[in-house]
Structure 1
Amino acid sequence: MTDFSSARVLVTGAASGIGAATARLLAERGAKLILMDRDEGGLCAFDAPRIVGDVADEQLWRDADLSGLTHAVINAGIGEGGTPIAHLPFADWRRVMGVNLDGAFLSLSAAMRAIKATGRGGGIVVTASVAGIKAEPGIAAYGASKAAVLHLARIAAKEGAPDKIRVNAIAPGGVETPIWSNLAFFKDLVAAHGSEEAAYTAMASMATPLARYATPEEIAAQIAFLLSDVAGFNTGTTLVTDGGYSL
Protein backbone atom coordinates (compact mmCIF):
# COMPACT_ATOMS: atom_id res chain seq x y z
CA MET A 1 0.00 0.00 0.00
CA THR A 2 1.46 3.35 -1.08
CA ASP A 3 1.64 6.08 1.53
CA PHE A 4 0.34 9.51 0.47
CA SER A 5 0.89 11.25 3.81
CA SER A 6 3.14 13.87 2.20
CA ALA A 7 0.77 14.46 -0.72
CA ARG A 8 -1.72 17.27 -1.33
CA VAL A 9 -4.14 16.06 -3.99
CA LEU A 10 -6.81 17.83 -6.03
CA VAL A 11 -9.71 15.56 -7.07
CA THR A 12 -12.33 16.98 -9.43
CA GLY A 13 -15.75 15.38 -9.72
CA ALA A 14 -15.25 14.20 -6.14
CA ALA A 15 -18.87 14.13 -4.98
CA SER A 16 -19.71 10.70 -6.40
CA GLY A 17 -18.56 7.74 -8.45
CA ILE A 18 -14.88 7.35 -9.32
CA GLY A 19 -14.00 10.74 -7.83
CA ALA A 20 -15.52 9.97 -4.44
CA ALA A 21 -13.96 6.51 -4.33
CA THR A 22 -10.56 7.98 -5.20
CA ALA A 23 -10.89 10.68 -2.55
CA ARG A 24 -11.78 8.07 0.09
CA LEU A 25 -8.83 5.84 -0.84
CA LEU A 26 -6.31 8.68 -0.89
CA ALA A 27 -7.59 9.99 2.44
CA GLU A 28 -7.20 6.51 3.94
CA ARG A 29 -3.59 6.54 2.73
CA GLY A 30 -2.89 9.87 4.41
CA ALA A 31 -3.31 12.40 1.60
CA LYS A 32 -4.43 15.97 2.23
CA LEU A 33 -7.25 16.61 -0.22
CA ILE A 34 -8.71 19.52 -2.17
CA LEU A 35 -12.06 18.40 -3.57
CA MET A 36 -13.97 19.97 -6.43
CA ASP A 37 -17.53 19.38 -7.65
CA ARG A 38 -20.67 21.38 -8.37
CA ASP A 39 -22.53 19.13 -5.90
CA GLU A 40 -21.63 20.74 -2.59
CA GLY A 41 -23.76 18.27 -0.64
CA GLY A 42 -21.76 15.33 -1.98
CA LEU A 43 -18.52 16.98 -0.93
CA CYS A 44 -19.75 17.39 2.63
CA ALA A 45 -19.04 13.70 3.22
CA PHE A 46 -15.34 14.65 3.34
CA ASP A 47 -13.39 16.76 5.82
CA ALA A 48 -11.37 18.66 3.26
CA PRO A 49 -11.20 22.05 1.53
CA ARG A 50 -13.84 22.32 -1.17
CA ILE A 51 -14.09 24.08 -4.51
CA VAL A 52 -17.76 24.25 -5.46
CA GLY A 53 -18.81 25.20 -8.96
CA ASP A 54 -18.64 24.44 -12.66
CA VAL A 55 -15.38 22.74 -13.66
CA ALA A 56 -15.51 24.71 -16.93
CA ASP A 57 -15.64 28.08 -15.13
CA GLU A 58 -12.33 29.81 -15.88
CA GLN A 59 -12.73 32.26 -12.99
CA LEU A 60 -13.24 29.41 -10.53
CA TRP A 61 -9.76 28.09 -11.34
CA ARG A 62 -8.21 31.54 -11.22
CA ASP A 63 -9.54 31.94 -7.68
CA ALA A 64 -8.81 28.39 -6.47
CA ASP A 65 -6.17 27.99 -3.75
CA LEU A 66 -4.03 25.08 -4.92
CA SER A 67 -0.92 26.06 -3.00
CA GLY A 68 1.33 23.13 -2.10
CA LEU A 69 -0.34 20.82 -4.60
CA THR A 70 1.63 17.66 -5.39
CA HIS A 71 -0.91 15.52 -7.28
CA ALA A 72 -4.21 15.86 -9.13
CA VAL A 73 -6.99 13.63 -10.41
CA ILE A 74 -8.72 15.36 -13.33
CA ASN A 75 -11.92 13.39 -13.17
CA ALA A 76 -15.06 15.57 -13.52
CA GLY A 77 -17.25 14.51 -16.41
CA ILE A 78 -20.76 13.91 -17.67
CA GLY A 79 -22.26 11.26 -19.92
CA GLU A 80 -24.29 11.34 -23.11
CA GLY A 81 -25.56 8.71 -25.44
CA GLY A 82 -28.18 7.42 -27.79
CA THR A 83 -28.38 10.23 -30.34
CA PRO A 84 -26.67 9.80 -33.74
CA ILE A 85 -24.52 12.63 -35.09
CA ALA A 86 -27.09 13.61 -37.72
CA HIS A 87 -29.63 14.38 -35.01
CA LEU A 88 -27.42 15.48 -32.09
CA PRO A 89 -28.34 19.04 -31.04
CA PHE A 90 -25.35 21.34 -31.00
CA ALA A 91 -26.35 22.46 -27.51
CA ASP A 92 -25.95 18.88 -26.27
CA TRP A 93 -22.58 18.61 -28.02
CA ARG A 94 -21.38 21.83 -26.37
CA ARG A 95 -22.71 20.80 -22.95
CA VAL A 96 -20.64 17.60 -22.98
CA MET A 97 -17.55 19.26 -24.44
CA GLY A 98 -17.82 22.08 -21.92
CA VAL A 99 -17.55 19.76 -18.94
CA ASN A 100 -15.46 16.89 -20.29
CA LEU A 101 -12.91 18.80 -22.38
CA ASP A 102 -12.99 22.48 -21.40
CA GLY A 103 -13.24 21.52 -17.74
CA ALA A 104 -10.40 19.02 -18.06
CA PHE A 105 -8.21 21.62 -19.75
CA LEU A 106 -8.86 24.31 -17.13
CA SER A 107 -8.36 22.03 -14.13
CA LEU A 108 -5.29 20.36 -15.66
CA SER A 109 -3.76 23.73 -16.47
CA ALA A 110 -4.35 25.01 -12.93
CA ALA A 111 -2.96 21.81 -11.40
CA MET A 112 0.19 21.90 -13.53
CA ARG A 113 0.89 25.50 -12.57
CA ALA A 114 0.41 24.74 -8.88
CA ILE A 115 2.59 21.62 -8.91
CA LYS A 116 5.32 23.42 -10.87
CA ALA A 117 5.33 26.20 -8.28
CA THR A 118 6.42 23.78 -5.56
CA GLY A 119 9.54 22.86 -7.51
CA ARG A 120 9.22 19.24 -6.40
CA GLY A 121 7.27 17.73 -9.26
CA GLY A 122 4.31 15.40 -8.84
CA GLY A 123 1.74 13.21 -10.53
CA ILE A 124 -1.53 13.76 -12.37
CA VAL A 125 -4.10 11.26 -13.61
CA VAL A 126 -6.73 12.26 -16.14
CA THR A 127 -9.91 10.18 -16.27
CA ALA A 128 -10.72 9.44 -19.90
CA SER A 129 -12.77 6.49 -21.17
CA VAL A 130 -12.50 3.54 -23.49
CA ALA A 131 -15.21 5.43 -25.44
CA GLY A 132 -12.36 7.67 -26.59
CA ILE A 133 -10.64 4.63 -28.14
CA LYS A 134 -13.43 2.40 -29.44
CA ALA A 135 -16.14 3.86 -31.67
CA GLU A 136 -19.77 3.13 -30.91
CA PRO A 137 -22.92 4.68 -32.38
CA GLY A 138 -24.67 7.39 -30.41
CA ILE A 139 -21.75 8.65 -28.31
CA ALA A 140 -20.28 11.31 -30.61
CA ALA A 141 -19.90 14.07 -28.03
CA TYR A 142 -18.80 11.83 -25.17
CA GLY A 143 -16.43 9.74 -27.27
CA ALA A 144 -14.87 12.75 -28.99
CA SER A 145 -14.41 14.55 -25.68
CA LYS A 146 -12.65 11.56 -24.14
CA ALA A 147 -10.44 11.01 -27.21
CA ALA A 148 -9.39 14.65 -26.94
CA VAL A 149 -8.70 14.23 -23.21
CA LEU A 150 -6.43 11.27 -23.92
CA HIS A 151 -4.31 13.35 -26.27
CA LEU A 152 -4.40 16.32 -23.93
CA ALA A 153 -2.87 14.09 -21.25
CA ARG A 154 -0.10 12.97 -23.60
CA ILE A 155 0.78 16.54 -24.52
CA ALA A 156 0.70 17.54 -20.84
CA ALA A 157 3.10 14.67 -20.08
CA LYS A 158 5.65 16.04 -22.55
CA GLU A 159 5.23 19.59 -21.30
CA GLY A 160 5.38 18.57 -17.64
CA ALA A 161 8.39 16.28 -17.84
CA PRO A 162 11.04 19.04 -17.47
CA ASP A 163 9.36 20.01 -14.19
CA LYS A 164 9.12 16.37 -13.03
CA ILE A 165 5.33 16.38 -13.44
CA ARG A 166 4.07 13.00 -14.62
CA VAL A 167 0.71 12.91 -16.43
CA ASN A 168 -1.09 9.67 -17.21
CA ALA A 169 -4.61 8.78 -18.24
CA ILE A 170 -6.96 6.01 -17.26
CA ALA A 171 -9.57 4.76 -19.74
CA PRO A 172 -12.24 2.77 -17.94
CA GLY A 173 -14.91 0.79 -19.70
CA GLY A 174 -18.20 0.30 -17.90
CA VAL A 175 -18.13 1.40 -14.27
CA GLU A 176 -21.04 1.28 -11.86
CA THR A 177 -21.40 5.03 -11.28
CA PRO A 178 -24.24 7.59 -11.25
CA ILE A 179 -23.17 8.81 -14.70
CA TRP A 180 -25.56 6.20 -16.15
CA SER A 181 -28.58 7.26 -14.14
CA ASN A 182 -29.78 10.06 -16.44
CA LEU A 183 -29.34 8.15 -19.69
CA ALA A 184 -32.65 7.10 -21.23
CA PHE A 185 -31.48 3.68 -22.41
CA PHE A 186 -30.19 2.83 -18.92
CA LYS A 187 -33.48 3.82 -17.36
CA ASP A 188 -35.19 1.48 -19.83
CA LEU A 189 -32.82 -1.33 -18.84
CA VAL A 190 -33.52 -0.78 -15.14
CA ALA A 191 -37.27 -0.89 -15.85
CA ALA A 192 -36.90 -4.05 -17.93
CA HIS A 193 -34.61 -5.93 -15.50
CA GLY A 194 -35.93 -4.66 -12.18
CA SER A 195 -32.81 -3.10 -10.65
CA GLU A 196 -29.66 -1.15 -11.45
CA GLU A 197 -27.54 -4.18 -10.55
CA ALA A 198 -29.41 -6.31 -13.07
CA ALA A 199 -29.17 -3.54 -15.67
CA TYR A 200 -25.38 -3.36 -15.26
CA THR A 201 -25.15 -7.13 -15.67
CA ALA A 202 -27.26 -6.98 -18.81
CA MET A 203 -25.10 -4.25 -20.34
CA ALA A 204 -21.83 -5.97 -19.43
CA SER A 205 -22.93 -9.31 -20.85
CA MET A 206 -23.46 -7.70 -24.28
CA ALA A 207 -19.86 -6.71 -25.02
CA THR A 208 -17.53 -7.14 -22.03
CA PRO A 209 -15.67 -10.48 -21.99
CA LEU A 210 -15.43 -10.45 -18.18
CA ALA A 211 -19.23 -10.03 -18.16
CA ARG A 212 -19.28 -7.39 -15.45
CA TYR A 213 -18.60 -3.72 -14.91
CA ALA A 214 -15.91 -2.33 -12.62
CA THR A 215 -16.64 -0.81 -9.24
CA PRO A 216 -15.51 2.76 -8.56
CA GLU A 217 -13.17 1.37 -5.90
CA GLU A 218 -11.33 -0.76 -8.49
CA ILE A 219 -10.71 2.28 -10.68
CA ALA A 220 -9.69 4.35 -7.65
CA ALA A 221 -7.01 1.79 -6.78
CA GLN A 222 -5.59 2.00 -10.29
CA ILE A 223 -5.59 5.80 -10.17
CA ALA A 224 -3.71 5.64 -6.87
CA PHE A 225 -1.13 3.37 -8.50
CA LEU A 226 -0.58 5.84 -11.35
CA LEU A 227 -0.21 8.70 -8.87
CA SER A 228 2.24 6.78 -6.70
CA ASP A 229 6.02 6.55 -6.82
CA VAL A 230 5.62 2.91 -7.85
CA ALA A 231 4.61 4.28 -11.27
CA GLY A 232 7.41 6.83 -11.19
CA PHE A 233 8.67 5.88 -14.66
CA ASN A 234 5.20 6.11 -16.22
CA THR A 235 4.18 9.28 -17.99
CA GLY A 236 2.07 9.84 -21.09
CA THR A 237 0.56 6.38 -20.75
CA THR A 238 -3.07 5.29 -20.88
CA LEU A 239 -4.21 2.48 -18.63
CA VAL A 240 -7.15 0.81 -20.38
CA THR A 241 -9.25 -0.94 -17.76
CA ASP A 242 -12.37 -2.21 -19.50
CA GLY A 243 -12.85 -5.91 -18.78
CA GLY A 244 -11.81 -6.71 -22.34
CA TYR A 245 -14.45 -4.52 -24.01
CA SER A 246 -11.97 -2.98 -26.45
CA LEU A 247 -10.59 -6.32 -27.67
Structure 2
Amino acid sequence: MTHIQEFSGRSALVTGAASGIGAACARMLAARGAGKLVLVDVDAAGMDALDLGPCEVHRIVGSVADEALWVGLDPLLAGLDHAVVNAGIGSGGQISSISLAEWRRVMAVNLDGAFLTLAHSLRAMADGPGSVVVVASTTGLKPVPGIGPYGVSKAAVAHMARIAAAENAEKGIRVNAIAPGGVDTAIWDEGEDFKALVAAVGREAAIARMAKTTPLRRFASSDEMADTICYLLGDGAANITGHVMVTDGGFTL
Protein backbone atom coordinates (compact mmCIF):
# COMPACT_ATOMS: atom_id res chain seq x y z
CA MET A 1 0.00 0.00 0.00
CA THR A 2 1.28 3.47 -0.89
CA HIS A 3 1.42 5.97 1.96
CA ILE A 4 0.96 9.64 1.16
CA GLN A 5 4.08 10.67 3.14
CA GLU A 6 6.20 7.63 2.34
CA PHE A 7 9.24 9.76 1.40
CA SER A 8 9.04 11.97 4.47
CA GLY A 9 12.39 13.57 5.24
CA ARG A 10 14.22 11.69 2.48
CA SER A 11 16.38 13.10 -0.29
CA ALA A 12 16.00 12.37 -3.98
CA LEU A 13 17.73 13.22 -7.25
CA VAL A 14 15.70 13.62 -10.45
CA THR A 15 17.28 14.27 -13.84
CA GLY A 16 15.34 15.58 -16.80
CA ALA A 17 13.24 17.30 -14.16
CA ALA A 18 11.96 20.29 -16.12
CA SER A 19 9.16 18.52 -17.97
CA GLY A 20 7.39 15.23 -18.65
CA ILE A 21 8.15 12.23 -16.46
CA GLY A 22 10.93 14.00 -14.56
CA ALA A 23 8.73 16.95 -13.58
CA ALA A 24 5.93 14.58 -12.57
CA CYS A 25 8.37 12.63 -10.37
CA ALA A 26 9.60 15.82 -8.70
CA ARG A 27 6.05 16.93 -7.94
CA MET A 28 5.03 13.50 -6.65
CA LEU A 29 8.10 13.07 -4.44
CA ALA A 30 7.52 16.52 -2.94
CA ALA A 31 3.83 15.76 -2.39
CA ARG A 32 4.75 12.53 -0.65
CA GLY A 33 6.99 14.24 1.86
CA ALA A 34 10.48 14.36 0.37
CA GLY A 35 12.64 16.67 2.44
CA LYS A 36 15.24 17.48 -0.21
CA LEU A 37 15.16 17.34 -4.00
CA VAL A 38 18.09 17.81 -6.34
CA LEU A 39 16.82 18.50 -9.84
CA VAL A 40 18.98 18.51 -12.97
CA ASP A 41 18.00 19.72 -16.44
CA VAL A 42 19.22 22.00 -19.23
CA ASP A 43 15.90 23.87 -19.04
CA ALA A 44 16.18 26.38 -16.21
CA ALA A 45 12.78 27.95 -16.86
CA GLY A 46 11.04 24.58 -16.74
CA MET A 47 12.56 23.75 -13.37
CA ASP A 48 11.79 27.21 -12.00
CA ALA A 49 8.13 26.73 -12.94
CA LEU A 50 7.76 23.69 -10.69
CA ASP A 51 5.82 24.36 -7.49
CA LEU A 52 7.25 21.91 -4.97
CA GLY A 53 5.91 23.36 -1.73
CA PRO A 54 8.07 23.52 1.39
CA CYS A 55 10.55 20.91 0.14
CA GLU A 56 14.23 21.98 0.03
CA VAL A 57 14.93 22.16 -3.71
CA HIS A 58 18.23 22.52 -5.54
CA ARG A 59 17.77 23.28 -9.24
CA ILE A 60 20.94 22.47 -11.19
CA VAL A 61 21.13 23.71 -14.77
CA GLY A 62 23.38 21.63 -17.00
CA SER A 63 23.77 18.48 -19.05
CA VAL A 64 23.83 15.08 -17.40
CA ALA A 65 26.61 14.22 -19.89
CA ASP A 66 28.94 16.77 -18.26
CA GLU A 67 31.25 14.91 -15.89
CA ALA A 68 32.31 18.16 -14.22
CA LEU A 69 28.70 18.83 -13.23
CA TRP A 70 28.57 15.55 -11.32
CA VAL A 71 31.91 16.08 -9.61
CA GLY A 72 30.62 19.42 -8.40
CA LEU A 73 27.36 17.86 -7.20
CA ASP A 74 28.94 15.10 -5.11
CA PRO A 75 28.92 17.07 -1.82
CA LEU A 76 25.24 18.01 -2.31
CA LEU A 77 24.28 14.39 -3.02
CA ALA A 78 25.99 12.91 0.05
CA GLY A 79 23.60 10.62 1.93
CA LEU A 80 21.19 10.41 -1.01
CA ASP A 81 18.16 8.13 -0.50
CA HIS A 82 16.62 7.91 -3.98
CA ALA A 83 17.46 8.69 -7.60
CA VAL A 84 15.44 8.87 -10.80
CA VAL A 85 17.73 8.51 -13.82
CA ASN A 86 15.42 10.05 -16.37
CA ALA A 87 17.10 12.61 -18.65
CA GLY A 88 17.00 11.66 -22.32
CA ILE A 89 16.65 12.94 -25.86
CA GLY A 90 15.05 11.46 -28.95
CA SER A 91 16.36 10.76 -32.44
CA GLY A 92 15.03 9.62 -35.77
CA GLY A 93 16.37 8.00 -38.90
CA GLN A 94 17.44 4.63 -40.27
CA ILE A 95 20.72 3.21 -38.94
CA SER A 96 22.14 3.18 -42.47
CA SER A 97 21.66 6.94 -42.80
CA ILE A 98 22.46 8.24 -39.30
CA SER A 99 25.76 10.08 -38.93
CA LEU A 100 28.24 9.19 -36.22
CA ALA A 101 27.78 12.71 -34.84
CA GLU A 102 24.04 12.10 -34.39
CA TRP A 103 24.69 8.67 -32.86
CA ARG A 104 27.13 10.17 -30.38
CA ARG A 105 24.77 13.09 -29.59
CA VAL A 106 22.10 10.66 -28.41
CA MET A 107 24.49 8.31 -26.61
CA ALA A 108 26.13 11.21 -24.79
CA VAL A 109 22.90 12.09 -23.01
CA ASN A 110 20.94 8.84 -22.92
CA LEU A 111 23.76 6.42 -22.09
CA ASP A 112 26.82 8.36 -20.88
CA GLY A 113 24.61 10.76 -18.92
CA ALA A 114 22.67 7.88 -17.38
CA PHE A 115 25.94 6.19 -16.44
CA LEU A 116 27.26 9.33 -14.74
CA THR A 117 23.95 9.88 -12.93
CA LEU A 118 23.78 6.29 -11.72
CA ALA A 119 27.45 6.06 -10.72
CA HIS A 120 27.42 9.27 -8.68
CA SER A 121 24.06 8.38 -7.12
CA LEU A 122 25.35 5.00 -6.00
CA ARG A 123 28.46 6.59 -4.49
CA ALA A 124 26.29 9.13 -2.68
CA MET A 125 24.22 6.31 -1.19
CA ALA A 126 27.45 4.79 0.14
CA ASP A 127 26.53 1.69 2.13
CA GLY A 128 22.79 2.15 1.72
CA PRO A 129 19.98 1.72 2.00
CA GLY A 130 18.74 3.47 -1.10
CA SER A 131 16.85 2.97 -4.33
CA VAL A 132 17.23 4.01 -7.95
CA VAL A 133 14.90 3.86 -10.94
CA VAL A 134 16.36 4.17 -14.43
CA VAL A 135 13.94 5.27 -17.15
CA ALA A 136 14.43 2.96 -20.13
CA SER A 137 11.86 2.32 -22.88
CA THR A 138 9.98 -0.44 -24.63
CA THR A 139 12.01 0.56 -27.71
CA GLY A 140 14.95 -1.00 -25.87
CA LEU A 141 13.02 -4.28 -25.72
CA LYS A 142 11.15 -4.29 -29.03
CA PRO A 143 12.91 -3.21 -32.25
CA VAL A 144 11.20 -0.16 -33.69
CA PRO A 145 12.49 1.02 -37.08
CA GLY A 146 13.69 4.57 -37.45
CA ILE A 147 14.88 5.34 -33.91
CA GLY A 148 18.09 3.30 -33.74
CA PRO A 149 20.23 5.42 -31.39
CA TYR A 150 17.35 5.97 -28.97
CA GLY A 151 16.35 2.30 -28.85
CA VAL A 152 19.94 1.09 -28.46
CA SER A 153 20.61 3.60 -25.67
CA LYS A 154 17.50 2.49 -23.81
CA ALA A 155 18.39 -1.21 -24.15
CA ALA A 156 21.78 -0.37 -22.69
CA VAL A 157 20.49 1.58 -19.68
CA ALA A 158 18.04 -1.19 -18.80
CA HIS A 159 20.87 -3.71 -18.68
CA MET A 160 23.06 -1.24 -16.80
CA ALA A 161 20.37 -1.04 -14.13
CA ARG A 162 20.35 -4.82 -13.76
CA ILE A 163 24.14 -4.96 -13.42
CA ALA A 164 24.04 -2.17 -10.82
CA ALA A 165 21.34 -4.06 -8.93
CA ALA A 166 23.54 -7.15 -8.73
CA GLU A 167 26.55 -5.10 -7.64
CA ASN A 168 24.76 -3.19 -4.88
CA ALA A 169 22.21 -5.61 -3.41
CA GLU A 170 24.41 -6.48 -0.43
CA LYS A 171 24.45 -2.79 0.52
CA GLY A 172 20.67 -2.64 0.55
CA ILE A 173 20.60 -0.44 -2.53
CA ARG A 174 17.92 -1.43 -5.01
CA VAL A 175 18.17 -0.56 -8.71
CA ASN A 176 15.28 -1.07 -11.11
CA ALA A 177 14.26 0.22 -14.51
CA ILE A 178 10.95 1.21 -16.00
CA ALA A 179 10.25 0.67 -19.69
CA PRO A 180 7.41 2.96 -20.76
CA GLY A 181 5.65 2.61 -24.06
CA GLY A 182 3.89 5.65 -25.45
CA VAL A 183 3.77 8.54 -22.99
CA ASP A 184 2.42 11.96 -23.86
CA THR A 185 5.54 14.06 -23.26
CA ALA A 186 7.46 16.78 -25.09
CA ILE A 187 10.01 14.27 -26.43
CA TRP A 188 7.63 13.57 -29.32
CA ASP A 189 7.84 17.19 -30.39
CA GLU A 190 11.45 16.70 -31.52
CA GLY A 191 10.56 14.24 -34.31
CA GLU A 192 9.99 15.45 -37.87
CA ASP A 193 7.29 12.83 -38.55
CA PHE A 194 5.38 13.91 -35.44
CA LYS A 195 5.71 17.58 -36.36
CA ALA A 196 4.21 16.82 -39.76
CA LEU A 197 1.34 14.88 -38.20
CA VAL A 198 0.65 17.68 -35.72
CA ALA A 199 0.61 20.18 -38.57
CA ALA A 200 -1.97 18.04 -40.36
CA VAL A 201 -4.33 17.04 -37.54
CA GLY A 202 -3.27 18.84 -34.34
CA ARG A 203 -1.27 17.51 -31.39
CA GLU A 204 -4.11 15.85 -29.46
CA ALA A 205 -5.30 13.98 -32.55
CA ALA A 206 -1.71 13.05 -33.41
CA ILE A 207 -1.17 11.45 -29.99
CA ALA A 208 -4.52 9.64 -30.26
CA ARG A 209 -3.60 8.30 -33.69
CA MET A 210 -0.26 6.95 -32.49
CA ALA A 211 -1.93 5.43 -29.43
CA LYS A 212 -3.91 3.14 -31.71
CA THR A 213 -0.75 1.02 -32.08
CA THR A 214 -1.19 -0.21 -28.49
CA PRO A 215 -3.76 -2.84 -27.44
CA LEU A 216 -5.20 -0.49 -24.81
CA ARG A 217 -5.35 2.23 -27.48
CA ARG A 218 -4.02 4.93 -25.18
CA PHE A 219 -0.81 6.68 -24.26
CA ALA A 220 0.05 7.04 -20.59
CA SER A 221 0.41 10.34 -18.79
CA SER A 222 3.60 11.49 -17.09
CA ASP A 223 1.81 11.26 -13.74
CA GLU A 224 1.03 7.59 -14.34
CA MET A 225 4.69 6.91 -15.03
CA ALA A 226 5.73 8.89 -11.95
CA ASP A 227 3.37 6.84 -9.79
CA THR A 228 5.01 3.61 -10.98
CA ILE A 229 8.49 5.06 -10.47
CA CYS A 230 7.63 6.18 -6.94
CA TYR A 231 6.31 2.69 -6.22
CA LEU A 232 9.64 1.18 -7.28
CA LEU A 233 11.55 3.77 -5.24
CA GLY A 234 9.44 3.26 -2.13
CA ASP A 235 9.35 0.77 0.70
CA GLY A 236 6.42 -1.11 -0.86
CA ALA A 237 8.90 -2.44 -3.44
CA ALA A 238 11.49 -3.43 -0.84
CA ASN A 239 11.87 -6.93 -2.35
CA ILE A 240 12.18 -5.76 -5.96
CA THR A 241 15.59 -5.14 -7.53
CA GLY A 242 17.11 -5.76 -10.94
CA HIS A 243 13.66 -5.63 -12.53
CA VAL A 244 12.69 -3.89 -15.77
CA MET A 245 9.02 -3.00 -15.33
CA VAL A 246 7.19 -2.67 -18.63
CA THR A 247 4.28 -0.23 -18.67
CA ASP A 248 3.21 0.13 -22.28
CA GLY A 249 -0.51 -0.51 -22.74
CA GLY A 250 0.37 -3.88 -24.26
CA PHE A 251 2.67 -2.52 -26.98
CA THR A 252 5.24 -5.30 -26.51
CA LEU A 253 2.68 -8.13 -26.60
Normalization by structure 2: what TM-score? Answer: 0.94
**Displacement, 1:120?**
3.7
Cα offsets for 1:219-241 (capped at 9, x unmatched): 00000000001000000001100
**Displacement, 1:45?**
2.4
Match of 2:49 among 45, 48, 52: 45
**Displacement, 1:72?**
0.2
Partners in 1 of 2:117 and 2:193 — Cα distance? 31
Partners in 2 of 1:52 and 1:67 — Cα distance? 19
Normalization by structure 1: what TM-score? Answer: 0.96
**Displacement, 1:50?**
1.6
Sequence identity percentage: 57
Verify: 1:202 aligned to 2:209, yes or no. Answer: yes
Q: After superposition, where does 1:83-232 map in structure 2 within 5 Å?
A: 83-116=93-126, 119-193=127-201, 195-205=202-212, 207-232=213-238
Question: Which residue does 1:66 correspond to in 2?
Answer: 77
Verify: 1:241 aligned to 2:250, yes or no. Answer: no
SS state at 1:198 partner: helix
Cα offsets for 1:150-186 (capped at 9, x unmatched): 1000000011112110000000001000001111000
SS state at 1:103 partner: helix
Q: What are structure 2's unaligned runs of at least 5 residues?
A: none
**Displacement, 1:197?**
1.1
SS state at 1:240 partner: strand
Question: Which residue does 2:31 correspond to in 1?
Answer: 28
Q: Quick one: which amino acid aligns to residue 225 of structure 2? A: I
Partners in 2 of 1:228 and 1:151 — Cα distance? 21
SS state at 1:49 partner: strand
Q: Quick one: which amino acid aligns to residue 54 of structure 1? A: S
Runs of 4 or more, structure 1, over 3 Å off, are: none
Q: What are structure 1's unaligned runs of at least 5 residues?
A: none
**Displacement, 1:68?**
2.3
Q: Quick one: which amino acid aligns to residue 80 of structure 2? A: L
Q: Quick one: which amino acid aligns to residue 242 of structure 1? A: D
Name the count of aligned residue pairs.
Answer: 242
**Displacement, 1:90?**
1.0
Q: Quick one: which amino acid aligns to residue 27 of structure 2? A: R
Partners in 1 of 2:9 and 2:166 — Cα distance? 25
Partners in 2 of 1:120 and 1:18 — Cα distance? 25
